[in-house]
Structure 1
Amino acid sequence: MSHPYLDLDSRSFWKSAVSEVGPLGLTDLWRPGFRINKTHKIVTAGSCFAQNISSRLVKAGYTWLNTEPGPAFAQEDVKKKYNYGVFSFRTGNIYTAKMLRQWVSFAFGVDEPRIPPIVHNGRYFDPYRQQICPEGFATEEELLASREETFDAIRNAFTQADIFFFTLGLTEAWIDRETKQEYSSCPGVVCGEFDPDRVKFINHEFTSIVADFKAAMKIINENRQSNISVLLTVSPVPLTATASKSHVLVAVTRSKSTLRAAADQIVRGNRRIDYYPSYEVITSPVSRAIHYSSNLRNISPEGVNNVLSYFFTAIKRFDKKSASPTETTAKHASEDEDDIDENDDVVCEEVILNAFAK
């Protein structure tokens, strides 16, 4: 007898690659599509989970680009409060591919912001990053000036960077009916009031996610000398709440499945774009939910550590081109990196929705 399965190695079979080794014994989980070393300049953006990546890159000695670090005189906790140093630029969380497309379109002059500022208690909030300044801005002019600084930071980041690490987070979003542009979160949750005549719920579909991401990359690459390398991942953090009318568990499955399929389509046939399986590490049946905190939503520090241990092990092996693919497990890999600090704070707009749970 002869068939294609006879010559496959152990990583191709569930029994030998997953069930027999357990959640901390997985090996050869990911083979990088391109080299990532400590001299490469890396830009990070995306959902709440992506914040773990930027902080861990810095701890491990990699070159993370922070093009909007904030005032030099400010204390680090104050900078964090005002969303400096969370991502490579001060956009706050970028949950969707459409939101990414908006930001790079604004920064590189392809489009312009057309949703007016949200006025709340006499203060001005940016509809594209409502939580960036917790108390809001004193004037509209101050808001617009701050936004221009972020546009400049985005341009600097993408023209300098070698690698863009982006985490897809959500499919559910809220758009302005008139401009068709997307809010960072539903108006009325963080600030302002919800107006159904102005604001519309949208649940992004596979084709629009792929199209928006590719359009964003086209804008970025048109403003560079060579195409940037991209590492995509999907956030394993479930939705805090859904506006889809489905049960939240069903909505989460729909959202994450769509994002995972879109990521696969984006990567397919493009040697400059790769996918890292953080979503799979956390949500796989073999993990038995051990990587989640007690609320079954937040990823525990140990879970983050496990995800990124696979990442650092793989890129070091790829860079050195020496170690055998199966000789180091994630458990062992974590020993030569700093553990995730349990006090590391993640700034997440979406989690505010918890306050409205009945």
Structure 2
Amino acid sequence: MPNPYADRPDHAFWSRAVADPPGGVVDPVVAAPFNLTPADRVATAGSCFAQHIARHLAASGYGHLRTEAGDPAEDGGFSARYGNIYTARQMLLLIDEAYGLHRPADDVWRRADGRFVDALRPRVPMNGHPSEEAVRAARSTHLGAVRRVLEDCTAFVFTLGLTETWLGEDGTAYPLAPGVVAEAPSSMRHRFHNFTLDEVRADLLGVVERLWDVNPSARVILTVSPVPLVATMSAAHVLPATTYSKSVLRVAAQEAVDRFPHVAYFPSYEIITGPQARGAYFAPNLRAVTEEGVAAVMAVFGRHFLGRGDEEGQGASQKASHGARAPAAVQAGAIDAETEATLGVVCDEEAIEHSLPSARAR
């Protein structure tokens, strides 16, 4: 019997595709199942890293769908002002809420300064609201914008970020724990939960199915954020806790691709964290992704999903293969500002550490 690997293409071999590819270009996408055009209305949602895709789509002249007016520096520039959607459960329940299938029992929290926030998007807007009624009025408008995102998009890009969350008594998943930026009512109880693979799989499949219930022709692109956890509430060290989270999300994304037509996976996680990058795409805090890393991701995305040529992607990928360093401006930046200020990304999770007494004392 001949060696069954004899006829496998170059991309199937680590030595040829990762360790020493032709020209030093590492491109982990074999083939995109569909292409986007400038006429497409591309919706974006998810964790902090999803904002890079939204920003680059808009800058490239492609149709990034935006259904709710607001300041991108405040809400992340997603298609609606939902802020960061870190978990598949959070996305699933947002869809259900938008169509009257879920109503959070605990939706308004109060800050120390007396202002009120939407518990499901606690930093949109950054200055909060003057009353509980104002919060709920703004949320009603927001849910209408969410429905327009789901019904009007021709493609939906969802970046999975975390498995850790805080759940209310009714099962509502929150992007931040009570006490990080605002306090929940004393009558409400919340608990930490780290989603299992079975739970994430079911939630993600539900997201796709609910999207197709209202928009059967929409295509879906799933990604996993390469940004590590800022902190963990599990018993584990934050490093293996991050590995667990990203592994579960990656498997769930693959199962959605295998289950559904017109669902694609884009390997932004692998481009940034793979050994071929030699750590060059992380800033000095080893968490924030540099602009060079974002450029490498978007070059591959553009080549396969936007139909661009190879030239744009080769330079960025080649730098990663030879251990490129982060730009000097990023290296010199304050670590606390690297994610939100230097790179122009709004990341609700950063508030976990920034709100600690030790952080305020520095």
Per the TM superposition, whether the score is higher than 0.5 is yes
State the AA in 1 paired with 2:150: F
- 3-state SS in 1 of match to 2:6: helix
Secondary structure at 2:157 match in 1: strand
Q: Specify the alignment match of 2:324 in structure 1.
A: none
**Cα 1:134/1:13, change in 2 over 3 Å:** same
Is contact 1:175-1:199 (8 Å) kept?
yes
Q: Counterpart in 2 of 1:168? A: 160
2:271 aligned partner? 281
Stretches of structure 2 that go unaligned for 5 or more consecutive residues are 319-326, 331-341
Alignment gaps of 5+ in structure 1:
71-78
Displacement of 1:134: 2.0
| Contact residue 241 and residue 353 of structure 1 kept, 8 A | yes
C-alpha change, 1:297 and 1:22, in structure 2 (3 Å) is farther
- Contact 2:54–2:64 (8 Å) recurs in 1: yes
Deviation at 1:217, TM superposition (A): 2.4
The 3 A distance-change label for structure 1 pair 195 and 15 is: farther
Counterpart-to-counterpart distance in 2, 1:229 and 1:330: 24
Cα deviation code 1:147-193 (max 9, x no counterpart): 011111111111111100000000000011x2111122011011126
In structure 1, distance between residues paired with 2:145 and 2:288: 30
Does structure 1 retain, via aligned residues, the 8 Å contact 2:28–2:267?
no
Q: Residue 347 of structure 1 aligns with which residue? A: 346
Conserved in 2, the CA contact under 8 Å of 1:43 and 1:157?
Answer: yes
| Native 8 Å contact 1:47 1:95 kept in 2 | yes
SS of aligned partner of 2:259: coil
Shift of the 181–47 alpha-carbon distance from structure 1 to 2, 3 Å rule, reads: same
Q: How many residues align?
A: 336
Contact 2:160–2:224 under 8 Å retained in 1: yes
Cα RMSD over matched residues?
A: 2.5
Give per-residue Cα distances to partners, 1:27-86, cap 9 Å, x unaligned.
Answer: 46341111211111100000000000000000111100000023xxxxxxxx23542x61
Tell me by how many angstroms 1:23 deviates.
10
Aligned-pair identity in percent equals 35
Offset, 1:353: 2.2
- Give the Cα separation in 2 of the matches to 1:247 and 1:82: 31
- The equivalent of 2:314 in structure 1 is 331
Secondary structure of 1:157's counterpart equals: helix
TM-aligned CA deviation for residue 329 of structure 1: 7.2
Equivalent residue number for residue 339 of structure 2: none
Distance 1:211 1:345 in 2: 33
Corresponding residue of 2:286: 296
Quote the residue 1:54 is aligned against: 54
Answering whether residue 231 of structure 2 is matched by residue 246 of structure 1, we say no
1:204 aligns with 2:195: yes
1:31 maps to what in 2? 31
Query: Residues 353 and 161 from structure 1, CA distance in 2 versus in 1: closer, same or farther, beyond 3 angstroms?
Result: same
8 Å Cα contact 2:24-2:317 kept in structure 1? no
Query: How far off its partner does 1:331 sit?
Result: 2.7
Residues 1:101 and 1:329: Cα distance change in structure 2 (over 3 Å): same
Aligned mates of 1:113, 1:128 — CA distance in 2: 9
Q: Partners in 1 of 2:289 and 2:37 — Cα distance?
A: 26
The Cα of 1:142 is off from its aligned counterpart by 0.9
Q: CA deviation at 1:334?
A: 8.6
Alignment of 1:158-197 (within 5 A): 158-176=150-168, 178-192=169-183
The residue identity in structure 1 corresponding to 2:34 is F
Match of 1:220 among 184, 200, 211: 211
Q: Cα deviations across residues 246-275 of structure 1 (Å, max 9, x unaligned)?
A: 111010011101111111111113221010
- Counterpart CA distance in 2 for 1:28 and 1:265 is 18
- Aligned to 1:166, the other structure's residue is in SS state strand
In structure 2, distance between residues paired with 1:151 and 1:350: 22
How high is the TM-score relative to the length of structure 1?
0.87
Equivalent residues of 1:67, 1:156 under 8 A apart: yes
Whether contact under 8 Å (1:114, 1:179) holds in the other structure is yes
Contact 2:204 2:252 in 1 (8 A): no
Aligned match of 2:146 = 154
Contact residue 29 and residue 266 of structure 2 kept, 8 A: no
Q: Judge which range, 227-236 or 265-274, deviates more.
A: 265-274
Q: Match of 1:175, SS? A: strand
Kindly tell me: are residues 192 and 289 of structure 1, through their superposed partners in 2, closer, same or farther at Cα, counting changes over 3 Å? same
Q: Residues 334 and 153 from structure 1, CA distance in 2 versus in 1: closer, same or farther, beyond 3 angstroms?
A: farther
| Aligned ranges 1:315-326 → 2 under 5 Å | 315-317=305-307
Specify the code of the residue in structure 1 equivalent to 2:208. M
- Output aligned runs, 1:30-109, within 5 Å: 30-70=30-70, 79-83=71-75, 86-109=77-100
**How far apart in 1 are the matches of 2:343 and 2:281?**
16
Partner in structure 1 of residue 226 of structure 2: 236
List aligned pairs for 1:105-116, cutoff 5 A.
Answer: 105-116=96-107
